[in-house]
């Protein structure tokens, strides 16, 4: 019920912070942030969201960005467990939705194994926010019957190990998280597996934040489209026919998109 305290002492809530804009938080997330004693947050949580925490809340940054770890997962688990055991009301704030590439399962498992009650508050994932910002629909009657969230994160020196044939199906919208560094490899593999070279793509950077950028183009130009984006800017890659059809407009023709040739 709205108004009643949501967190009991010794409990942990994993809370989705959405893509960055505090107006995209759920009301429940806002109440949890206001009602906790200690808040562990990732680097991707927007400054406007963190600013909602009252002055008495202990803020702990456990974020990692571009491979630079500030705390490893074991340390994060141990810190949250210690805070819960001391009777604090704990919020673990994660960018987007905790269940989408958020390692929430590991944290829930660790805390539950030690008898701590863990609850989850969902958030708006980056793909939904990018679709809203750019006025596209991720699924589209007749064009996109499937939506696939893919992590394109590969350890340094490793190639992506993905089922490219399945991903190349023409009726699928693909949302690649953590894919900026692998953009060329993604395009090359999708085209080799049968996806059309002129498939519409969208590169969505810092979605919902004041420095948001949406870059449109076609699949064979993907590595060019990401070339000016810095390592620190969260970037989502969307691929698929639906991405080329902004709501309320006629489908974008291949010759109207940013068309670049590149060696990929």
Ligand X SMILES: C[S@@+](CC[C@H](N)C(=O)[O-])C[C@H]1O[C@@H](n2cnc3c(N)ncnc32)[C@H](O)[C@@H]1O
Which residue in the block uniquely carries the two structure tokens 């109440």? 31
Interface residue with ligand X, options 11, 97, 220, 241 (CB under 6 A): 97
* Catalytic residue positions, numbered: 42, 64
Q: Taking CB under 6 A as the rule, does residue 49 contact ligand X? A: no
Nearest to residue 53, comparing CAs of 86, 83, 12, 25?
25
Q: How far is the CB of 96 from ligand X (least distance, A)?
A: 2
Nearer to ligand X, 67 or 87 (CB): 67
Residue closer to ligand X, measured from CB, 178 or 252: 178
Selected from 140, 235, 240, 243, the binder of ligand X by CB under 6 A is 235
Q: Which residues contact 49 (CB under 8 A, 6 or more apart)?
A: 17, 18, 20, 22, 25, 33, 93
CB nearer to ligand X: give 97 or 198.
97
Q: Is residue 96 involved in binding ligand X (CB under 6 A)?
A: yes
Exposed/middle/buried for residue 155 (C-beta within 10 Å: 0-12, 13-18, 19+): exposed
130 CB-near residues (< 8 Å, 6+ apart) = 19, 175, 202, 204, 207, 214, 236, 238
Candidate residues 7, 24, 33, 44; the one interacting with ligand X per rule CB under 6 A: 44
By CB under 6 A, which span of 5-13, 76-84, 89-97, 156-164 interacts with ligand X?
A: 89-97
In the list 53, 118, 120, 177, the residue contacting ligand X (rule: CB under 6 A) is 177
| 7 contact partners, CB below 8 Å, separation of at least 6 | 13, 32, 35, 36, 89, 90, 91
- Binding residues (CB under 6 A) for ligand X: these are 19-20, 44, 94-97, 100-102, 125-126, 177-178, 204-208, 234-236
């Amino acid at each position: 019920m709205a108004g009643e305290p949501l967190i009991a002492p010794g409990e942990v809530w994993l809370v989705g912070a959405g893509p960055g804009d505090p107006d995209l938080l759920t009301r429940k997330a806002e109440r949890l942030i206001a009602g906790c004693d200690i808040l562990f947050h990732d680097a991707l949580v927007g400054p406007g969201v963190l600013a909602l925490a009252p002055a008495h809340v202990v803020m702990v940054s456990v974020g990692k960005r571009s491979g630079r770890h500030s705390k490893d997962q074991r340390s994060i688990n141990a810190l949250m467990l210690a805070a819960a055991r001391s009777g604090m009301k704990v919020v673990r704030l994660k960018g987007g939705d905790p269940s989408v590439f958020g390692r929430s399962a590991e944290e829930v498992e660790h805390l539950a194994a030690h008898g701590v009650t863990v609850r989850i508050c969902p958030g708006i994932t980056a793909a939904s926010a990018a679709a809203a910002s750019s006025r596209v629909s991720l699924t589209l009657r007749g064009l996109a019957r499937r939506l696939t969230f893919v992590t394109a994160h590969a350890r340094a020196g490793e190639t992506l190990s993905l089922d490219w044939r399945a991903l190349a199906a023409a009726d699928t919208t693909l949302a690649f998280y953590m894919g900026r560094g692998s953009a060329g490899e993604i395009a090359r593999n999708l085209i080799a597996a049968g996806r059309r070279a002129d498939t519409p793509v969208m590169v969505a950077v810092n979605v919902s934040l004041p420095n948001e950028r949406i870059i449109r183009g076609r699949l064979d130009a993907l590595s060019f489209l990401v070339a000016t984006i810095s390592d620190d800017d969260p970037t989502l890659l969307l691929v698929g026919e639906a991405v080329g059809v902004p709501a309320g407009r006629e489908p974008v023709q291949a010759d109207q998109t940013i068309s670049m040739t590149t060696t990929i």
